[in-house]
Amino acid sequence: MNNKDWLRQLSNLTGLPYYEEHKIFGDKSGALIGIRDGYIVAAGLGKAEGGHAGVKMLLRYAKTQDPARIKQSLDPAKGKFKQVTTDATTANFVRAYSFGKPDAARVVEPLPGLLAALKTCAVPIGGKCEECGRDEPQVVLLNDVPSRYCPSCQVQLKQKLDAAAIEYENLETNLPLGLLYGVAAALLGSIAWGGVAFLLHRIFLWGAILIGLLVAKALVTGIGKVTWTARIMIGVLTAASVAFGDAIYYALSVMSQNHIAFKQALRVVLANFWKIETDSDGGVLSIVFALIGAVWVMYSTRKPAFQARFVTLGTPDTALSDAGTK
Ligand SMILES: [Zn+2]
């Protein structure tokens, strides 16, 4: 059965309206979004941990101080859903599958039990704005999370985030400090890379990515924010860190074979670095790893997002009685 038909079936079983256009769980088939007993319920298909296909579901409640208690209450009722994570307003469930989607009727089985458990520990959102508590008949998507947010709170949140974005843009940057931190992190990375290569006679791709992450963290901490200069410095320092790590590895090898001092060995290695590096298979490989690590970390180092995107639900793609909206 294709994903859309499966979701339609799930919609019929639960009475939750099906919206093909709202891809809030990642899959392009869309999601079910509705209200049950005053709680917001959404379900759909998406990625589970480790890239497996999964059925996802979320339950949303009024803000609580004690999300751990909600997890405790929901855990025994979760049925075949494996992961349960809770925060102040939302419980998330994932059920991974390998061969074909599970039977829709089986998937919905735990829902009544979960709602019953939720009633013992969490207050429903009901028909009220989650921020100010005023009556709000509509559910909207706030950055893909189904929420109750009244128009004036929407405006306020947007203004607040716009102000935060401007504040971030205007932050002072400290390039020298960033460079200092970055170089220190890169040097640490080199020592780790060279040491591991020497002791284990292996190099690891994720080692280069780890170094990149360390350099990025140090550099951004020093500079104070993510800029293009910072990203380029992260890339260059990561590649340099791995290259110098290789030099340390060669120097350690030369030192132990020829019984000379490390400093002396390093000098010899650095003088012939490029030749040694390109002559050995491991050297070429680590240049490749260093570049992959550098590019990956440059790409994944993002500015924090200050954005509140509100999307109205619109008309569902299932013709239903009003069972799903009450
Ligand atoms: Zn409000």
The per-residue pLDDT for range 191-239, each reduced to its tens digit, is 999 999 999 888 787 888 889 889 998 998 899 888 888 889 999 999 9
Closest CA to 249 of 295, 207, 294: 207
Judged by phi (left if over 0) then psi (alpha if -120 to 50, else beta), residue 141 lies in beta
Cα–ligand 1 centroid distance for 62 (angstroms): 13
Per DSSP, 77 falls in state G
Residue pair 157/308 in contact by the 8 Å Cβ criterion: yes
Cα–ligand 1 centroid distance for 85 (angstroms): 26
| pLDDT classification of 324: cutoffs 50, 70, 90 | very low
Cα–ligand 1 centroid distance for 311 (angstroms): 16
**What is the dihedral sign for C-alpha 14, 318, 54, 311?**
negative
What does the pLDDT look like over 227-286, one tens digit per residue? 888 889 999 999 999 999 999 999 999 999 999 999 999 999 999 988 888 887 777 888
Task: Give 106: exposed, middle or buried? Use CB within 10 Å, 0-12, 13-18, 19+.
Answer: exposed
Cα–ligand 1 centroid distance for 131 (angstroms): 5
For residues 253 and 256, give the distance between their C-alpha atoms in angstroms, rounded to a whole number: 5
Kindly tell me if the per-residue pLDDT of 46 is higher than 80: yes
Range of weakest confidence among 4-18, 122-136, 169-183, 271-285: 271-285
What does the pLDDT look like over 284-313, one tens digit per residue? 888 788 888 888 887 777 777 788 899 999
Cα–ligand 1 centroid distance for 20 (angstroms): 27
Cα–ligand 1 centroid distance for 156 (angstroms): 9
For residues 72 and 63, give the distance between their C-alpha atoms in angstroms, rounded to a whole number: 17
Which tokens is 237 given? 């320092």
For residues 88 and 65, give the distance between their C-alpha atoms in angstroms, rounded to a whole number: 6
Q: Report the alpha-carbon angle 270-273-274, nearest 5.
A: 150
